[in-house]
Chains A and B, each alone.
Chain A
Amino acid sequence: MPIFIDRRLNPKDKSLGNRQRFLRRAREELKRTIRDQIRTGKIADVDAEHAVSMPARGTGEPSFNDARNSGSRQHVLPGNKHFSPGDRLPKPGQGGGMGSAPGRTESEDDFRFVLSREEVLDLFFEDLELPDMVKLNLKEILAFKPRRAGFAATGSPTNINVGRTMRNSHGRRIALRRPKQEDLDAIAQEIASLEAKPQNAEMRQRIVALQEEFDRLERRRKRIAYVDPVDIRFNRFDAQPVPNANAVMFCLMDVSGSMGEREKDLAKRFFVLLHLFLKRRYDRTEVVFIRHTHEAQEVDEETFFYNTQSGGTVVSTALEEMHRIVEQRYPSREWNIYVAQASDGDNFVTDSERCIALLDEQIMRLCQYFAYVEILDERESHIFGATDNGTSLWRAYSAVKLRWSNFQMSRIATAADIYPVFRQLFARQPGYQKSGERGG
């Protein structure tokens, strides 16, 4: 009789360790591949499985091998149909003709494999995070989470711990010798059996004695309760403060007439990336989409990304709308507030002044981080380059940037800039402690 072992229920993914080691080894190259793929392809594709080819560097397994194109050798093959000794066959050209006759050509290194969605996003968003995630001091934080912390003698009836209570009651009953029901039953039965028999004095006396004993036990049983208030225990809960990890991201996009199709597309791609990043890395992040022309309006995701609408430009309306929403729904003591704004920078000078005032006086105090992305014409990018000279809004915001350290701004001219700028804006701050963040 052979020994049988059923291994089907063994833990799965025995090779996971090997896969992780492999990905770790190819990490840099895979990261680059994915970024290239995403830069050229659709940005929403980040959120999917990706087929990548085997990285060439670092994953080769060399050994001493014979060179195929040297020396002389003999091949023994089956299935001769019409050859005679001395026949000559032309050698197949590179990768064609007679196929596999002499030797195998396929190499294990030329294949594409699939990275799961999680792996893609992990590689893609590595080293990025929202800056200053924990906003307030712990003592000011109002979010608490109950946590089990032993037992208490007082509490609300819903928290009674039955097991504990019954254990205490049992111990007390034993210690105080509470008569058991069985003892009482035994005496009652004896009395009954004696009464059933013919009576004499001695027996009567015995019945009386038993009756007394019965009464005494019954009294004692009444005095010593089955469950006494002393026994009762409650589950105790400690309210533990939790760091405030609620975050809301405001996406402000300029959709005015001055923004051409190209600019809108770039802005949208930036926001898609931001949206994915938030979904991936943070547990509870709310996203509020606001788009504006000469008036601002909160819209849903679908409208934000896909609807086309046009009009004039009044940037401050978007800031006002955002401020209104914060007041209404996201009290700043409970929420980490982030803002990302994209615009082509065309604005009335007077309105830019108003934007500065809004930011300085109200918004910058409320939010953790404000990122402004300006979408440039490709030609403009040559002119402005890295200088601070620029559009009306850019100049206005430059002044704000000097005053607030949590304000960042950057320019995007081509699709290829999106990711670098995104990285620059959300790169992990050096020396900054991760907290309140959900692990990958």
Chain B
Amino acid sequence: MASRSGLLFSGSDWDFRTLSRAYETIEAIATEELHLDTYPVQMEIISSEQMLDAYSSVGMPLMYRHWSFGKHYLYQELLYRKGGRGLAYELVINSNPCIVYLMEENTMALQALVTAHAALGHNHFFKNNYLFRQWTDAGAILSYLDFAKGYIARCEERHGVDAVEEILDAAHALMEQGVFRYHRPPKLSSEKQREGLRERLEYEERSYNDLWRTLPPSKDGTKVRETDTMAERKKSLKLPEENLLYFLEKNSLILEPWQREVIRIVRVIAQYFYPQRQTQVMNEGCATFVHYTLMNLLFDRGLIGEGAMLEILRNHSNVIFQPGFDDPRFSGINPYALGLDMMQDIQRISTAPTAEDRDWFPDIAGNGDWRQTLLDAWANHRDESFIRQYLSPTLIRKWRFFVLADAANDPHYEVASIHNERGYESIRSALAHSYDIGASRPDIQVVDVDLLGDRHLRLQHKVKDGIVLEGGSRDATLRHIRKLWGYEVSMVAVDAQTGARLHERSTSQIGE
């Protein structure tokens, strides 16, 4: 009946044949109309419980076991049961093939929407955005997670759950400081190489001979000791180092090989998620733009019925709902809404620009080719640069953005800029800045350690705009670092502008 009327589906029930037909139709239109370029897709149907489960283990289908995931599960379950939060209709994994989770409770109309959103929108973004292309390895992530899960399970068997938990707790505390921001991380080694590495470590453990330790030290060694100036030390350890986990993994003197591997696993996973956190607005915006455009095209071609379209639009408008700052429902800027609005704005600027747009965007205004303009933007930007480049005055007026200056010792906020001629630039720059992960996270680096001396590990926190670290969690985190490092750790806070030392905190002051 569905095929006779030309509709892809009718009614709300779905089956695998309909899903497959819908995917093929949508994919054909996406390639033809939007020139999307995607990984092959693997769709997995899951229940709500499994969705909660994926939520709690950072959205990954495979994950090692850790108590904190159990805690997150309890939290998510509580929100879900109270009705405080609905579950996502889908979940998508940046991998090749791209894995899309569909909830079994979705109606067919929703499944079509989700297919367009995740299987095409997100998928295209993952495959083409420069951050993902350069920084993550979509082909290797699943096999790596599989390895990680198995490796940690084996460690638990061998060394006990408590010993593994201790390392994982400490490593999790440093996840934020476990990514390379400025240079590319090394590629994930293949399964075979990892296997070989592990075998070698095991061989070394087996064939360890204590006699080597008793050899007299060479005479050169003492000379090096004398000339071991601070500058040289830093050079040999490649200091300063922003990736604390990497530094500890490579240089800590007390860690056993398996502990290093566990730290490495946490570090690799942190690095894998780093691009996603930098492209939230763009990623969701791209997916939302794609599903909105595709669903309208399907409707225009008579492939979906009015009832289904109504359901789709209702869900779409829920997703892009953005309350104002004074609304009790306000919880920050909705990345779906901002992303979609900016992309539709780009479409407008390139097809029907106003004089103002020509002023602001001479490159793209009126170029007529919105498809290519968007494809370029998706491929070559992250949130910060995307907003800095494409947020238009029209949109600032539509959203009625304003900037509040907030100084800690001031009892008032002050409105710094609003949506007027003088404010556009500063609003755009402030908004872009707030999406710059590198700038908004505390800047903490390893600056010095004397491996042959007292092995005191020195960290430096560059304090920007007078924003210091929260004391309790800082101390707890330093304690974790001490666990991994084994010797004293201290962190000095230095003003980023003046270079003045603000204060210093050492693990000897904290106590166990």
Contact = CB atoms under 8 A, between A and B. Distances in A.
A98 to B, nearest CB: 7
A20 B45 contact: no
A67 interface: yes
Interface in A42-99: 54, 59-81, 83-91, 98-99
Given A74-B416, A81-B400, A85-B418, A7 B174 contact: no
Most chain A beta carbons < 10 A, residue from B332, B401, B402, B417: B402
Given A21-B165, A22-B71, A69 B408 contact: yes
B404 A3 contact: no
Q: For chain B, give the interface size range.
A: 35 or more
Contacts of A2: 20, 23, 40-43, 119
A74 B401 contact: no
B444 interface: yes
A62 B483 CA distance: 14
Contact of B473 (A65, A69, A75, A100): A65
Contacts of A70: 408, 466-468
A6 interface: yes
A85 B415 CA distance: 5
Given A15-B56, A76-B401, A104 B331 contact: yes
A61 B173 contact: yes
Interface centre among A17, A66, A99, A104 (most CB of B within 10 A): A66
Interface in B21-71: 23-24, 40-47, 49-50, 52-53, 56-57, 65-71
Interface in B62-112: 65-75, 77-78, 97, 101, 104
A67 B468 contact: yes
B470 interface: yes
B406 A102 contact: yes
B73 A71 contact: no
Interface string B390-418: 00000000011111111110011111111
B323 A79 contact: yes
Nearest to B470: A67
B423 interface: yes
A8 B97 CA distance: 20
B326 A79 contact: yes
A10 interface: yes
A80 B57 contact: no
Chain A at the B interface: mostly helix, strand, loop or mixed?
loop
A71 B40 contact: no
B419 interface: yes
Given A74-B430, A85-B418, A98 B104 contact: no
A437 B74 CA distance: 31
Interface in A378-394: none
Contacts of A399: none
A99 B330 contact: yes
Interface string B308-325: 000000000000001111
A73 B440 CA distance: 10
A108 interface: yes
Contacts of B265: none
B306 interface: no
Interface stretch (B195-203, B342-350, B371-379, B474-482): B474-482
Contacts of A18: 56-57, 65-67, 69-70, 73
A341 B332 CA distance: 63
Nearest to B479: A62
Contact of B325 (A3, A77, A87, A113): A77
B43 A4 contact: yes
A89 B412 contact: yes
A91 B405 contact: no
Contacts, number: 259
Interface string B147-183: 0000000000000010001000100111111000000
Nearest to A10: B50
A67 B467 contact: yes
A75 B69 CA distance: 31
Given A65-B473, A101-B404, A8 B46 contact: yes
Contact of A80 (B77, B177, B402, B411): B402
A365 interface: no
Nearest to B19: A4
A24 to B, nearest CB: 7
Contact of A111 (B46, B57, B78, B444): B78
Contacts of A85: 415-418, 422-423
A14 interface: yes
A65 B442 contact: yes
Contacts of B433: 74
A87 B468 contact: no
Contacts of A63: 173-176, 473, 477
Contact of A68 (B43, B175, B470): B470
A72 B466 contact: yes
A6 B19 CA distance: 12
Interface string A378-418: 00000000000000000000000000000000000000000
Given A8-B46, A25-B67, A79-B323, 6 more contacts: A4-B16, A4-B43, A15-B70, A18-B70, A66-B470, A90-B412
Interface of B: 16, 19-20, 23-24, 40-47, 49-50, 52-53, 56-57, 65-75, 77-78, 97, 101, 104, 119, 161, 165, 169, 172-177, 322-328, 330-333, 399-408, 411-419, 422-423, 427, 430-431, 433-434, 442, 444, 461, 463-474, 476-477, 480
20 contacts: A2-B40, A4-B20, A10-B50, A14-B50, A15-B57, A18-B70, A59-B67, A63-B174, A63-B477, A64-B177, A65-B442, A78-B324, A88-B413, A88-B415, A101-B404, A102-B404, A102-B406, A102-B413, A111-B75, A113-B77
Interface of A: 1-8, 10, 12, 14-15, 17-25, 54, 59-81, 83-91, 98-102, 104, 108, 111-114
What 7 pairs across the A-B complex have the smallest Cβ distances? A79-B324, A22-B70, A71-B467, A71-B466, A18-B70, A62-B476, A77-B325
